[in-house]
Amino acid sequence: MTKPIKIAVIGCGRVAQHYKKILDSGVVSNWKIVGFFDLISERSNSFATHFDTKAFDSFDEMLKASRPDLVLILTPSGLHYQHTKTALEHNCNVLVEKPVTMLPNQAIELEKIAKSKELMYGVAFQNRLNPAIRALERAIKQKRFGKIVTATIRLRWCRYQDYYEDGWHGTWAQDGGVINQQAIHHVDAINWLLGPIDSLTSTITNRLNNLEAEDTLVAIMKFENGALGTIEATTAARPEDFEASLSVVGEKGMVLIGGIALNKVETWEFVESTAEDDTVAEQYSQDVETGYGVSHGPLLQNIINSLLKGDIEPPVSALDAVQTACMVHALYRRSWPVPLQHMSQLHNDLPVHPMKNLQSQLWLLQYHGIHQLLLPLHAIFFLETCFLY
């Protein structure tokens, strides 16, 4: 009989409830929960009772006493770095919820620790495993679109103000806004499928919710292959979650993956059709209850199977997730405003070389419209190094 993978969980909030549902469903095998920890002891006690295991008073105590094979890090985003580092230092494999860390260089540091200890360091971008997304991935690899013209992600979800009243959601230190909390899954998907992205610009606002970060973002992108892309993301849709979609338009066809979690094939049309095309929607669409979807199940099973074989390569690695984190940072950097009284001087300072006076270029685009220069992503990442880290 196969010895189960021992799993410890830190964080017993909103996403932990989804993991609970997945584990209760029976779709994941060969696991055993050996401990829970949450700062709110009532939460960890409740989970421990449900899974017939122990709740601990501290993270360190749980890791030392339970000696897990795998730690699920389900805490607020701003704590991912420290909790992942602690787990790795205790020689535990890690699956962390998105974002991998708040700053890309933190994830790179942790990846080096994991590699030196020969540990798995994976990130929960479960939508990559959605059957509908996998079908789209195959169509792209088979070059069924020909020259890709445009690609779009749209997230129209509903989060009322009480969602942002828990002390961390929507804050810059612990979370970010819609692009780093909700739409990061869809940013990850479009970059994974069609990237790399050459350049972008964006704007953000709060339309209905009161939070430090944004509840709405709109952006345009240019991919290295020459295709253009757009992002529309909001948590100010009312009264429910309506859509989380990714569409691709090419010279030989169009595909729209929609639903509320990239879970349904809504359009699948190609100039050169195949016998399978008529059944793709039925074969690869899924019904889901929430925006989490159902692919945490396959994600966890993949990780458990790999660990049982001694394989530490996760479905989505930390270095994969760093690319998504960098794109999120680029979207935020491109949305910075500058006071109008400074515009004249900044206009005079607009550099010819993209690596000089990048902050001025960044600010200028906010006021000169999206038809102006799109700052290359490598230049934005240079800004991150200079001004953020």
The string of pLDDT tens digits covering residues 105-144 is: 999 999 999 999 999 999 999 999 999 999 999 999 999 9
Q: What is the DSSP string of 242-303?
A: -EEEEEEEETTEEEEEETTTT-EEEEEEESS--GGGGGHHHHH----SSTT-STHHHHHHHH
In the chain, where the domains are located: 5-126+295-321, 131-284, 338-387
Which one, of 41, 87, 80, lies nearest residue 63 by Cα?
A: 87
Q: How confident is the model at residue 298 (pLDDT cuts 50, 70, 90)?
A: very high
Q: Which amino acid is at 20?
A: K
**Is-contact 44 36, C-beta < 8 A?**
yes
pLDDT value at position 1?
67
CATH of domain 5-126+295-321: 3.40.50.720
Please identify which residue in the block is written with the tokens 């240019």.
222
* Percentage of the residues of the chain whose pLDDT score is greater than 90: 85
The string of pLDDT tens digits covering residues 13-59 is: 999 999 999 999 999 999 999 999 999 999 999 999 999 999 999 99
Q: How confident is the model at residue 2 (pLDDT cuts 50, 70, 90)?
A: confident
pLDDT value at position 276?
95
The string of pLDDT tens digits covering residues 224-243 is: 999 999 999 999 999 999 99
Which one, of 105, 172, 97, 73, lies nearest residue 322 by Cα?
A: 105
Please give the CATH architecture assigned to the domain spanning 131-284. 2-Layer Sandwich (3.30)
Taking the C-alpha atoms of residue 186 and residue 182, their distance in angstroms, rounded to an integer, is 8
Q: How confident is the model at residue 337 (pLDDT cuts 50, 70, 90)?
A: low
